[in-house]
Every structure is written in C-alpha cells, then in structure tokens.
Structure 1
Amino acid sequence: MTPQDILIHLDQGRLWPAPITANADFDLPAGYALALQVRGLRMARGEVPRGYKVGFTNRTIWPRYNVFAPIWGTVWNSTLSFCDGTGEMGLSATCQPRLEPEVVFGLKATPAPDASLQDLFNAIDWVAPGFEVVQSHLPDWKFLPADTVADGALHARLLVGSRIPARELAIDAIALDALLAQASTTLSRDGETVDSGVGANVLDSPLRALLDFVQTLRCCPGAPDLQAGDVVTTGTWTDAWPIAPGQKWTARFTLPGFELTAHFKE
C-alpha cells in the first residue's frame, strides 16, 4: 500500500485489502518510514501534530496481540480533545474501534539529551487521565508489529481529562514514578465494571514508558523530537475493549482527580 492508499482507508474507515507484511521485506523500520510519509500527507492537507501515542507498553496483553514491544505514532489536532472529567467522543470513520484507559503527559520543554527520569520529570507540565480510541484496519485485529506502525500505531482518537500539574502529584521523578506504578484503575461500561489494571503494567510505570519512548523516538530516522506543548499518551492499563455509539465508559484511577467518563456517538 502507498501512503495515499493508507490515508484513503483511514479517512473512510475501511479495512485494508491485505497486511502490508505480506511482503516479507516490510519490517519495523520500513513501517516507521511509511508512517512518516503518511504524516507528511496529513500535514500537507492542514492537520497539525499535537504529540504522540505510545502503544503496546502493557506487557500483560502482548501475547494476545502477538506484539512484544512498544510502538508509537502521531496524535493530531483532528484526533485530540480535552474535557474536565466528562466528554464526548465520535466514532465516525473509525475501524473496529476499541478503548484504552491511559495516563497522558503534557510537556513544557523538550527533554534533555540522554534524559534521566528526573530530567524527564523536569520537562513535564501536567499529568492527566486519558481515553485513547484505537483501531485496526486489518480484520479481527490480526497483524504483525510493522503493520501496526504503518497503521498510525492504531491511533484513532484521544480524550484527555483534568490536567494536574506534575508537581502537585509528586515532588520529583522518584515519587511520581512510584505513585503511578502503584496506582490502579477500574474500567466500566454503562455502570458495569469490565476490567481493571495497574500502572506497573505499563513498562513498570507510565513515567518509564515515556522515557523509553523518548529514547526510541530519537533513534528513528526522520522522526521529529518532542517539543513544548506536546501531548504523549503512554499505553493502556487494561485490555483494549470494543466500543460502540451510545455507550458510556468511565475509568476511575486511584490518583487524586483522575476520573474520566466518555459518551460515545457516531
């Protein structure tokens, strides 16, 4: 598939005709190169990058999806929205959408070269609960890692809840790392609990997932570095759950101010 083909299927919410990895030479570096070409097309038509999503950081679900390392993709002004705790999310033109409760970071500066956890903490402005809607353009969510990278790292939408200044949560990186690792979340659909998870599922903590992403991003040829104002969502604490219009989903985290409800519509 060409970058234009991928964009057409994305806009129309249509399944791909076949995995790109049907070509045995299509590997992860090729996937990122293709994804960056699609990124260029989206920017050329006026979409604005607002940050990144990091996926497959939750080791507990790796065997289920046959993916055993994190991936990343771009978050856009057309896919990102904010709320104070309750918001709406449209599912138009998404493909086999699923929902993930996550922790989202907002940056106030580019992390230092060879950043430590404390350097990273110093670059963070705020922390928030988030719902990422993920999608797959291959049937039944069956893919290889390079397919997911070319598929925009499966990103469809991101709803960010109440943003808490990082220093209101913790005094330094060690404290924030421990706080996030030890926290848990309960995910419910229309008032019924469907799943739960802990921050340690996400590469031992969302802060460590963010650090791993910073290092990975800087090793990718052609990828732009993080900038002040970027939003980064760090991966689901639970499994990814199928969603449909008319449903109400809530994630309750054991973190102060971290509760998020989303109403889904067409």
Structure 2
Amino acid sequence: MDTAVAAGDRSETTRLVASEALAVLGTGRQLTPFTARCPGFGLGEAYRVTADIRAERERQGETVLGRKIGFTNRTIWAEYGVFAPIWGYLYDRTVFDLAELGAGFPLHGLAEPRIEPEIIFGLAEAPVPGMDASALLGCIGWVAHGFELVQSIFPDWRFAAADTVAGYGLHGALLIGPRHPIASRHDDWNDALYAFEIDLYRNGEHADHGRAANVLDGPVPALRHLVALLAADDANPPLRAGEIVTTGTLTRAFPVAAGETWETRLTGLPLDGARIRFV
C-alpha cells in the first residue's frame, strides 16, 4: 500500500488495504499493520475494507455463511490492546463440521494460528436492534460448541483494532460440533447460556478455564452487541435468517501447532466437549 495516499482519499485507501489483505489470504504471509502506514485509518475505513474483501471473495466463488465476533472476552483485552468487540465474515471455505475432520485439521496457510473455544448460534430468524434476551434467543434455531481458529496477518499479534477488522476479523476457520435445536427448551437454554463453565486442554494437559460471563456476560449479550454494531454500519448488511454467528472465545486464545490435540469439557451446558487434532 502506498503510504503517501492522501488521508482524505478514503475510497482509494480502503481499496488498497483490501487488495493487500487479499494478497496474503491463505498464504500464511504477514504484513506491517495498516494503521502504522496510513495515519487516520480507523474502524470506519476498516469495515469498508471488510465489505470490499467480501465482494471480491464472492466474485471468486465463496459464499458468506455468517459472522464471527471477536474480542468479546474482556479478560484478554489488555493482552492484545483492543478494548471493544469487532466482527468479521464467515465463508463456506472457512467453516467445517468437526465430525468430518477425523483425519485432523491442517494449519497450512494460516498466519500464527491460535485456538478459541466458542459457543456458536444458527439463526432461524433475523434479530433486530432493541431485542431483549428472550427475543434474541427466539431468533436462534440451534446452538453448538466448537473452535474458531484465529490468525494474525500482522507479525507477533501486534495491531490496532482497525487492523484486526481489515485482517478478516482475525478469522481463519470455524470448526463446529453437533448442532442442537433449542426451539422447545428456550427457558433451559436461557439460564444455561449465562452460567456455564469450560476447561480447555492441550495434549491432555489443562490449558485454561473459562466461563460464560467472559464473553460480554454471555453468548446472547454478545449476539445483541453484534446486532447493534451492524445497525450502525453503512457498509455491511444486518444479520439474516440462516446465518451462523460464533460469539467469541471463552478462554484465552492459544497458539497451536501440527501434532497437537486440543479438547474441551463443558459444565452446566447440555453440549458435549469438542476435540480436534492439528496436522
């Protein structure tokens, strides 16, 4: 990207940033953060980059399946220097069912990948701003547990918030466990989604402990936050029925490497733990 691009020429800046980000997609290569080279590059421009990247990925044949919410876990904000949630798109080439990954999941092409255990929603209806928790839960058709593999196209995970948005929302892949319909058990799910706990293990050794409250007090409030973010976004559409939303890491995010096996155990939520081996 030409750092001499005039600060006032926002459309040219977003085009160049999107082009750079797309050039390293799937390669494992990394870039100097955009905010370090383009003074004034902020979240507004970054979400326009997100829209440009989506348009190009769709032109190349990818399909948007939903959204990921990042930095909902307030316990990791200081670690990364990002102090509010962000979001990014999920695509058909980045979303996988854990049941189909018996041979393991390849890490090739991801830049400094890290693992995040998350709660994932499938939307039966489109949520709208102002919905309370009960109404939001009524929009959810299924709940699952799985892992998001996040990546940083910026070396050593050093960036500003706008960089994370422009860098695909840090999304690498989403590995989804069994999907559980919740239509007939809203009250049970509503209580459990605020109170459960989780333990994360690497090669059988305990790595971290997390709880529902870590993600903006629970996955449903995290969804509410995303709905509000999108309502204020003039470059990207609101959520639609059928989209997948993954609500943010319940523990710290940990670097992963080929040969490792990661698994979780959930307490207080009617979902099985998840397990994945990396190759």
Given the two structures, how large is their TM-score scaled by the length of structure 1?
0.94
Structure 1: runs of 5 or more not aligned: none
Q: Which residue of 2 aligns with 1:218?
A: 231
Larger Rg over CA atoms: 2
SS of residue in 2 equivalent to 1:159: strand
Q: Which residue of 1 aligns with 2:12?
A: none
User: What is the alpha-carbon distance in structure 2 between the residues aligned to residue 102 and residue 205 of structure 1?
Assistant: 11
Task: Note the alpha carbon deviations across 1:77-120, whole angstroms, 9 max, x for none.
Answer: 00001134975322121000000000000011112453222221
2:222 alignment partner, one of 168, 190, 209: 209
Q: Which residue of 2 aligns with 1:96?
A: 112
Structure 2: runs of 5 or more not aligned: 2-15
User: Letter of the aligned partner of 2:50 in structure 1?
Assistant: A
User: What is the alpha-carbon distance in structure 1 between the residues aligned to residue 117 and residue 153 of structure 2?
Assistant: 21
Taking only the aligned residue pairs, the percentage that are identical comes to: 43
Q: Which residue of 2 aligns with 1:75?
A: 90
1:15 alignment partner, one of 25, 30, 40: 30
Work out whether residues 85 and 261 of structure 1, in 8 Å CA contact, stay in contact via their aligned partners in 2.
no
Task: Note the alpha carbon deviations across 1:210-231, whole angstroms, 9 max, x for none.
Answer: 1111111121112122122211
Check 1:113–1:71 CA distance in 2 against 1; reply closer, same or farther (3 A cut): closer
Tell me which moved more, 213-222 or 131-140: 213-222
Work out whether residues 128 and 258 of structure 1, in 8 Å CA contact, stay in contact via their aligned partners in 2.
no
Work out whether residues 180 and 200 of structure 1, in 8 Å CA contact, stay in contact via their aligned partners in 2.
no
Check 1:183–1:244 CA distance in 2 against 1; reply closer, same or farther (3 A cut): same
Counterparts of 1:73-222 in structure 2, within 5 Å, are: 73-84=88-99, 87=102, 88-112=104-128, 114-167=130-183, 170-172=185-187, 175-222=188-235
Quote the RMSD (CA, aligned, Å). 1.5
SS of residue in 1 equivalent to 2:257: coil
Q: Which residue of 2 aligns with 1:60?
A: 75
Report the CA distance between 1:251 and its aligned residue.
1.1
SS of residue in 2 equivalent to 1:147: helix
Work out whether residues 177 and 206 of structure 1, in 8 Å CA contact, stay in contact via their aligned partners in 2.
no
User: What is the alpha-carbon distance in structure 2 between the residues aligned to residue 46 and residue 235 of structure 1?
Assistant: 27
SS of residue in 1 equivalent to 2:22: helix
Report the CA distance between 1:20 and its aligned residue.
0.5
Work out whether residues 68 and 88 of structure 2, in 8 Å CA contact, stay in contact via their aligned partners in 1.
yes
Task: Note the alpha carbon deviations across 1:194-238, whole angstroms, 9 max, x for none.
Answer: 111001000000111011111111211121221222110000010
Check 1:108–1:9 CA distance in 2 against 1; reply closer, same or farther (3 A cut): same
Work out whether residues 88 and 165 of structure 2, in 8 Å CA contact, stay in contact via their aligned partners in 1.
yes
State the aligned residue count: 261
User: What is the alpha-carbon distance in structure 1 between the residues aligned to residue 218 and residue 272 of structure 2?
Assistant: 16
Report the CA distance between 1:258 and its aligned residue.
2.6
User: What is the alpha-carbon distance in structure 2 between the residues aligned to residue 49 and residue 35 of structure 1?
Assistant: 12
User: What is the alpha-carbon distance in structure 2 between the residues aligned to residue 86 and residue 60 of structure 1?
Assistant: 30
Check 1:138–1:205 CA distance in 2 against 1; reply closer, same or farther (3 A cut): same
Check 1:144–1:128 CA distance in 2 against 1; reply closer, same or farther (3 A cut): same
Check 1:62–1:85 CA distance in 2 against 1; reply closer, same or farther (3 A cut): farther
Work out whether residues 119 and 246 of structure 2, in 8 Å CA contact, stay in contact via their aligned partners in 1.
yes
Report the CA distance between 1:245 and its aligned residue.
1.1
Tell me which moved more, 18-27 or 91-100: 18-27
Work out whether residues 176 and 207 of structure 1, in 8 Å CA contact, stay in contact via their aligned partners in 2.
no
Task: Note the alpha carbon deviations across 1:138-174, whole angstroms, 9 max, x for none.
Answer: 1110110000000011000000101111246x433xx
Work out whether residues 52 and 230 of structure 1, in 8 Å CA contact, stay in contact via their aligned partners in 2.
yes
User: What is the alpha-carbon distance in structure 1 between the residues aligned to residue 211 and residue 57 of structure 2?
Assistant: 35
Q: Which residue of 2 aligns with 1:256?
A: 270
Report the CA distance between 1:10 and its aligned residue.
1.4
